[in-house]
Amino acid sequence: MQPDVTAFFDQHTSTLSYLVADPESGRAAIIDPVLDFDAKSGRTATTSADRIIEMVRQRSLQVDWLLETHVHADHISAAPYLKAALGGQIGIGVDVSLVQEHFAPLFGLDADCSRCGAEFDRLFADGDVFGIGRLQARAWATPGHTPACVSYLIGNAVFVGDALFMPDYGTARCDFPGGSPAVLHRSIRRLLDLPLDTRLFTAHDYQPQGRPLAYESTVAEQRAHNIHVREGISAEQFIALRTERDRSLALPALMLPAVQVNIRAGAFPPAGADGRRYLRIPVDSI
């Protein structure tokens, strides 16, 4: 049994979200949904998430899962919005506690962040199996970009998050707290040991050289062509290349707003006495 996969692209953050459905039962999972956020005005919008809701309703799907591949630093999660509209449980890798542990103090969230992942409905350990209708899904810990990254194996499709991008863009940065190019390389080797025709779906596509959007590859294509990890590039070469490249990267534009919300499973801080919700910007702290 193979899943139906529909991709949704958010142009502002180059993020791919996926709707993954069991064609027989109509049960579905949504992976890495985006809440639109304009940092200049502080305004949120649900244009991206509403496109997914519309598709779910059109196809009369029943959403069981809202899955995060990791705590994203480039966009705010729309998981709570989709959960309110469609139901489903919000899941992430169990090591999200490490990310909470690091970032809760930075945002002064000591009293408002569990540091044990309690904000999420389901914490996946490496190898955990769950169902989407009759489809069997499995979570694999694939850390390196962050310490808590997971990939979701669903039928012959794997949603790899930021572990791999399209072959012409390579891999994701490993310089976030708890990230490690050596660890990412091990995670990627594990993914690339899957059968050659396994379908790999990435969480971002930055469309290098203006090429058209692409988000699906195979293990065979990645092994032959990935500019950072194709066959013939050693672990040491990858680590050197990744470390060098990461030195030149600026922080993602939405990192500060996104991380403080995403470590709380996409929940904004509660409104204060004035009825407003505020995000925090730590000054001179990172």
Location of structure tokens 């050596």: 182
Residue 162 contacts Fe ion per CB under 5 A: yes
- Sheet-wide strand order for 43-45: 43-45, 34-38, 76-77
**In sequence order, what are the beta bridge partners of 130?**
137
Q: Which residue is nearest to Fe ion (CB)?
A: 162
Residue among 22 and 162 whose Cβ is closer to Fe ion: 162
Taking the complex as a whole, the smallest distance from the CB of residue 251 to Fe ion amounts, in Å, to 12
How many helices (H) does the chain have, and how many strands (E)? 7, 15
Which span sits near Fe ion by CB under 5 A: 2-10, 162-170, 194-202, 255-263?
Answer: 162-170
Least CB distance to Fe ion at residue 75 (A): 9
Nearest-10 Cα torsion for 69, 72, 78, 84: 60
- Beta carbon of residue 186, minimum distance to Fe ion (angstroms, whole number): 18
Transcribe 112-130 into DSSP letters. Answer: G--SSSTTSSEEEPTT-EE
- In the bound state with Fe ion, the residue whose beta carbon lies nearer, of 162 and 205, is 162
In the complex with Fe ion, which residue's Cβ is closer, 252 or 269? 252
Query: If binding is defined by CB under 5 A, does position 68 make contact with Fe ion?
Result: no
> Which of these segments, 121-129, 155-163, 229-237, 267-275, binds Fe ion (CB under 5 A)?
155-163
Cβ closer to Fe ion: 61 or 203? Answer: 203
Judging by beta carbons within 10 Å of its beta carbon (0-12, 13-18, 19+), is residue 131 exposed, middle or buried? middle
Which listed range, 36-44, 76-84, 159-167, 236-244, lies at the site for Fe ion (CB under 5 A)?
Answer: 159-167
Read off the tokens for 279. 């995000």
Which among 98-106, 130-138, 154-162, 211-219 is the span making contact with Fe ion, rule CB under 5 A? 154-162
Our CB check for Fe ion shows the closer of 68 and 162 to be 162
Spell out the residues 6+ positions from residue 23 whose beta carbon is closer than 8 angstroms to its own: 1, 3, 4
Closer by beta carbon to Fe ion, 64 or else 162: 162
Q: 3-state DSSP: the chain helix, strand, coil percent, rounded to 5?
A: 25, 25, 50
Instruction: By CB under 5 A, name the binding residues for Fe ion.
Output: 162
